[in-house]
Amino acid sequence: MAKCIQCGRQLPALTFGKKLCQWCVQHEAAQRGEENTIQRVETAPWLRSESSSMMVTQAFFAINVIVFVAMAFAGVSFIEPSTQELRNWGANFGPLTLGGQWWRLITCVFVHGGILHIAFNLWCLWDLGALAESLYGHWTFPAVYLTTGVAASVASSIWHPGATSVGASGAIFGIAGALIASFYLGEFSLPRAAISGTLRSVVMFAGYNLVFGAIWGRTDNAAHVGGLVSGLILGALIARVAPDRDLIRRGGVLLFGFVLVGLGVFWLQHSRSYLIHAQNGANLLRERKNDQAITEFQTALRQRPDFVPARFELARAYLFKNDLDNAQTELQKVIAATPKDEGAYYFLGYIYLEKKQPQQARGIFDQLIQLNPDNPDGHAGRAAVLSFENKYGDALEEYKVATKLDPDYQNVYYDMGVVQAKLKQYDDAIASFLKQRDNGDDPDNENALARAYEAKGMKAEAAEARQKAAELKGQK
């Protein structure tokens, strides 16, 4: 259908050859001062009839700032928060969201991953939010913003359910999509040139950010696309079905949007239910309910055999049960799927060592060191193999490398002290056991320290260490 070249209103049907609507014809006649011409007053559907106040945009802006400041005061880094910190503050994370914490689909919209992240998003929100609020009104705008924000979170969980997602950008893309559809399909009393310029700006904003997100890699483009598409749908429906801000029509359009998002959530729950089982398994594993945890992980893997995190946790559950063969099988599958998973190499190496297969264990730890020479697990594992083979001198050198890489590496000074005692380096062994004591009390360490003292003829010190070992065992 043709549109007026002056104001953009749609022309009536069968108006062949006409370029101006009747309203503009009368307006121009009134401007020329022609007699008997009365300027007809016609409120265009998109005329900004509400106050120019951007109170809702300001409210969204303030909520984002308040959450960010609260996170900073709580000790969260304002430069680059950790993934766990973001999850603690309501980030969208598939296993938690699908595990029943559905509120994360909306709270993540108000959480940001650093000062640069929030600064860019709030800058976009201020400009696009003000425009959308003046166009849609004070109640339609927040409904579109929140609906598209949730739609963006759903799209993110569908595309990469194991990722952690935060930020207002999905909802901002939703607003951009709604504006694009509304500018293209709606009737405006604004000059066509002004509308075209704004439309180009919004399209460039969406296109640039999608391309930048695809290149940078860290941007959640799934959320951006989800927000943009849901915004396009809502904007088109508002422009065509409810341009007059009629409560019933607008409400119907927004209700339709809510239903679409609800269907997306329903589909997400059923298509990604393996995440729920994986999360349940992780919770059970923390409670040392190993058999139940294994059942949950197996259920998750039946639904999604390539879900590596569940397979790794299944291997750990078998380890806790001392089922070394099954743990070995699962870890080998993890390495086949993700050859750079350093944790899988570490556990697999110790399984071989526990099964008294030092040659296989050395091969695994050598692969781990080749993968990452600065991984203390690899050097400590290699030292354990050498110690098992009674090559104590070589084992000691590997333990020294591990301590240089990580001075707080778990039990490394105890293991080093045991090797030094085997080499009859009792002074060094005592120093190592005392160093291990600084990292926490342990009866095995105290007994080893007592033996080293006895080898040196330090009977009083040995008795004291044995007494402490007995007390620690009694506390367990």
Q: Mean pLDDT over residues 308-315, rounded? A: 95
Which run of H or E residues covers position 467?
A: helix 459-475
Percent pLDDT > 70 in the chain is: 84
Q: What is the pLDDT of residues 114-157, one digit of tens each?
A: 998 899 889 889 988 888 898 888 999 999 999 999 999 999 98
| Range of the structural domain that residue 474 is part of | 410-476
The C-alpha atoms of residue 10 and residue 151 are separated, in whole angstroms, by: 32
CATH assignment of the domain containing 456: 1.25.40.10
Confidence of residue 40 (pLDDT cuts 50, 70, 90): very low
**Residue 127 sits in the same domain as residue 251:** yes
The C-alpha atoms of residue 452 and residue 211 are separated, in whole angstroms, by: 65
The C-alpha atoms of residue 457 and residue 459 are separated, in whole angstroms, by: 6
Q: Please indicate, yes or no, if residue 159 is contained in any of the structural domains.
A: yes
Q: Mean pLDDT over residues 368-393, rounded? A: 95
Q: Please indicate, yes or no, if residue 281 is contained in any of the structural domains.
A: no
Q: What integer pLDDT is reported at residue 272 of this predicted model?
A: 82
Closest to 8 measured CA to CA, from 19, 411, 313, 372? 19
CATH assignment of the domain containing 127: 1.20.1540.10
**Residue 85 sits in the same domain as residue 108:** yes
**Residue 120 sits in the same domain as residue 189:** yes
**Residue 26 sits in the same domain as residue 61:** no
pTM across the whole model: 0.61
Q: Return the residue matching tokens 């959450």.
A: 67
Residue 428 phi, psi (nearest 5): -65, -35
Q: What integer pLDDT is reported at residue 147 of this predicted model?
A: 96
Q: Mean pLDDT over residues 156-179, rounded? A: 89
Q: What integer pLDDT is reported at residue 39 of this predicted model?
A: 46
**Residue 31 sits in the same domain as residue 157:** no
The C-alpha atoms of residue 406 and residue 384 are separated, in whole angstroms, by: 16
The C-alpha atoms of residue 413 and residue 437 are separated, in whole angstroms, by: 9
Q: What is the pLDDT of residues 411-441, one digit of tens each?
A: 999 999 999 999 999 999 999 999 999 888 8
Q: Please indicate, yes or no, if residue 351 is contained in any of the structural domains.
A: no
Q: What is the pLDDT of residues 262-304, one digit of tens each?
A: 999 988 888 888 888 888 899 899 999 999 999 999 999 998 9
Alpha-carbon Rg for the chain, nearest whole angstrom, is: 33
Q: Of 240, 271, 302, which marks where a domain is finished?
A: 271
More confident residue, 87 or 21: 87
More confident residue, 214 or 417: 417
Q: Please indicate, yes or no, if residue 404 is contained in any of the structural domains.
A: no
Q: Mean pLDDT over residues 375-392, rounded? A: 95
User: Longest C-alpha distance within the chain, in Å?
Assistant: 123
**Residue 87 sits in the same domain as residue 138:** yes
Which run of H or E residues covers position 164?
A: strand 164-165
Percent pLDDT > 90 in the chain is: 61
**Residue 119 sits in the same domain as residue 151:** yes
Q: What integer pLDDT is reported at residue 42 of this predicted model?
A: 44
**Residue 121 sits in the same domain as residue 2:** no
Q: Please indicate, yes or no, if residue 287 is contained in any of the structural domains.
A: no
**Residue 98 sits in the same domain as residue 194:** yes
Number of Cβ within 10 Å of residue 438's Cβ equals: 9
Q: What is the pLDDT of residues 46-89, one digit of tens each?
A: 554 444 578 999 999 999 999 999 999 999 998 999 999 999 99
Q: Please indicate, yes or no, if residue 422 is contained in any of the structural domains.
A: yes
**Residue 30 sits in the same domain as residue 96:** no
Whether 36 shows a pLDDT value over 60: the answer reads no
The C-alpha atoms of residue 274 and residue 95 are separated, in whole angstroms, by: 9
Residue 290 phi, psi (nearest 5): -65, -45
Q: Mean pLDDT over residues 369-391, rounded? A: 95
Q: What is the pLDDT of residues 225-245, one digit of tens each?
A: 999 999 999 999 998 888 877
The C-alpha atoms of residue 427 and residue 452 are separated, in whole angstroms, by: 8
**Residue 152 sits in the same domain as residue 81:** yes
Number of domains in the chain: 3
Q: Please indicate, yes or no, if residue 460 is contained in any of the structural domains.
A: yes
Q: Please indicate, yes or no, if residue 442 is contained in any of the structural domains.
A: yes
Q: Tokens standing for 60?
A: 């969204």
* Environment class of 263 (CB within 10 Å of its CB; exposed 0-12, middle 13-18, buried 19+): exposed
Given a contact cutoff of 8 angstroms between Cβ atoms, the answer to whether 315 and 305 are in contact is no
